[in-house]
Amino acid sequence: MSASSIATQSSFAHVPDQNGGMAMNNPTPALSSVPGIAAANSGNGMIGGVPLYTPPQTPAAGSQSAASSVVGVGAKREADPESEVVEKIKGEQFPALIDVTTEDLVYGLETGLFTSVDLITAYIARINEVNATNHAVAEINPDALAIAAQMDAMRANGTVLGPLHGIPILIKNNIATADKMNNTAGSYALVGAKVPRDSAMAAKLRKAGVVILGKTNLSQWANYRSNNSSNGWSATTGQAYAAYYPMEDPSGSSSGSGVASSVGLALATLGTETSGSILSPSDVNNLVGIKPTVGLTSRYLVIPISEHQDTIGPMTRTVKDAAYILQAIAGVDSGDNYTSAFPNNGVLPDYIAACNFSAFNGARIGIARNVIDIWADNSSGPVLTAFDSAIETIRKAGATIVDNANFTGFQAWQKDNNETLVLNADFISNLHTYFTELSYNPSSIETLAELRNYTQSNPLEEYPSRDTAVWDDALTQGWNNTDPRFWAAYQANLYYGGEGGILGALQLNKLDAIILPTQFSPSIPALVGSPVVTVPMGFYPANETVVMNRRGTLVAVGPNIPFGLSFMGARFSEAELIGFAYAYEQRTMHRNDVQPFLAPNIELADVVGK
């Protein structure tokens, strides 16, 4: 992982890993023969069985109008100058898909400026335009266009399921869907596996009218396999790259979700986090990311690491977009008993209304200065300069800044191993549960030991060049979360995250939130399952010295690479954190300061009416 993001070569790393990760040394294996898996470099003009979009060609003089074929629509849709759609779009400016917001899309759909089918068509075209380079998307939903057509028909008949009705979102390739798509965590061990029903996250998205466009690449097994693999690599999809510098480390483990959202391959994406896996990719991909409280979003039928730390959240380009998605996916679910801890009898706050420009008025915002002092390194200068500027912005917006609101147990935690014990124990138990819940398990794997044997014997998994050291450690530990030794390890975690960590700092200093550069923020909140919201804070300067990862194959730090600011709070304080993040975002709009060097060119104007 890059120096500008918290280390999660395995999700339990304690310190930022300047040189983390090994990039893919061999070409991505051809995946075209594997049903439903995207062939990243197959050269066949396809991804997930969906043909590449062909941009319209300017017809020769005197020739018949050349309306282009659109991906998956079937018959050609020719532009009719007298049609209602064409009349409505005259004089209208289509929103740029790299910057489009939920409210932009709602307006366009409500007014007939474009349809959900148009959106899906454009986004598939954008994916196919760049995916052979950035490997952000693992698979396109082959039913996406048909579902979009259903959403359009419902809208035409007066039925709208909510603000996300007919809007495409990509989800991480560890969130199960009971459809034609795979859910593999990037491993061939799960290609072709089936689940008995949608995950809770997929079901909630569909209930909100979302079109699940496809699955995003990830750091294999959510970065819980290897000590020498790279952020963004999976066996089934290859090496993902971020878009702000050539060969940029995308961070992990929600690597493809970060890249895809940043360059506009869907309105937004879902990621998962155990420790850093939403926040870190959001950090380096210039995104807003919400890592919710453990128990706010259901993990049912999401490939797990740890029931005590796993959570699912949105990765978006704006705070309000993240709020819209969190509103749709949060809440009590019978498939995950952790969601029963939600306060207020399960009634959710209005996260969209929490987007308040005046949120800082009267707030007390702390700085855990000792975390910065211990973890800052030679590449941290631009980040700390931007952080100082952010502090002044927040102060001028009406907040009281409380410096040295420190995590009192942080230095001792650097040498503590209990988080590793907890994650290993949970992984042994929780992974077995997921395997046994499958309705079809083609590899007949049910235990971590069996998964390790499969991985080490399958050449496509690139062992031993990508080791299984994390699993080796868990199997050597040898006990799961039902063992009497588990409770003592977990209680130590609760101290370092609680009284000796973020919860203690909040209470002792009477704070509403704590801020840190995002590269320093994930680890302590992870221990107690408390929420964090990251928002773009700045970029490394154009003359920044390039720092490679430890294998010399991915750029960890370099010119124009983004970094973010994190707002951290007590459990179930998402509404307050969203308010602070929105108030900061609206005063700074740092996302617009630098554009990606690699982004697709296809826009709605290339699709609508064609």
Distance CA 1, CA 549 (A): 7
Collapsing DSSP states into helix, strand and coil, what is residue 537?
strand
Q: Is-contact 292 312, C-beta < 8 A?
A: yes
Q: Is residue 34 part of a domain?
A: no
Q: What is the DSSP string of 568-600?
A: E-STT-HHHHHHHHHHHHHHH-GGGSS--SS--
Q: Where do we find the tokens 């495409």?
A: 168
For residue 234, the cross-strand partners are: 238
Number of domains in the chain: 1
Q: Where do we find the tokens 């982004």?
A: 599
Query: What is the reported pTM?
Result: 0.88
Q: Is residue 573 part of a domain?
A: yes
pLDDT of residue 550: 82
Q: Is residue 424 part of a domain?
A: yes
CA 360 to chain centre: 27
Distance CA 501, CA 157 (A): 53
pLDDT of residue 1: 30
Residue of 229, 277, 298, 380 with catalytic role: 277
Q: Is residue 547 part of a domain?
A: yes
Q: Is residue 24 part of a domain?
A: no
Q: Is residue 319 part of a domain?
A: yes
Residue of 172, 204, 291, 610 with catalytic role: 172
Distance CA 390, CA 387 (A): 5
Query: How many of the other CB atoms lie within 10 Å of CB of 472?
Result: 14
pLDDT of residue 552: 83
Q: Which domain does 559 fall in, by range?
A: 46-53+113-606
Half-sphere exposure of 446 (CA within 13 A, CB side): 6
Residue of 253, 282, 521, 566 with catalytic role: 253
- Encode 201-266 in three state secondary structure: HHHHHHHCCCEEEEEECCCHHHHCCCCCCCCCEECCCEECCECCCCCECCCCCCHHHHHHHHCCCC
* Catalytic-residue membership of 172: yes
pLDDT of residue 551: 76
Q: Is residue 8 part of a domain?
A: no
Distance CA 56, CA 504 (A): 60
What does pLDDT average to in each consecutive run of 10 residues of the chain (610 residues)?
31 34 28 33 35 30 29 32 46 87 98 98 99 99 99 99 99 99 99 99 99 99 97 98 98 98 99 99 99 99 99 99 99 98 94 99 99 97 99 99 99 98 99 99 99 99 98 99 98 99 99 99 99 99 95 93 99 99 99 97 96
* Catalytic-residue membership of 253: yes
Choose among 331, 374, 328, 323: nearest CA to 535: 323
Q: Is residue 26 part of a domain?
A: no
Which CATH number do you get for residue 505?
3.90.1300.10
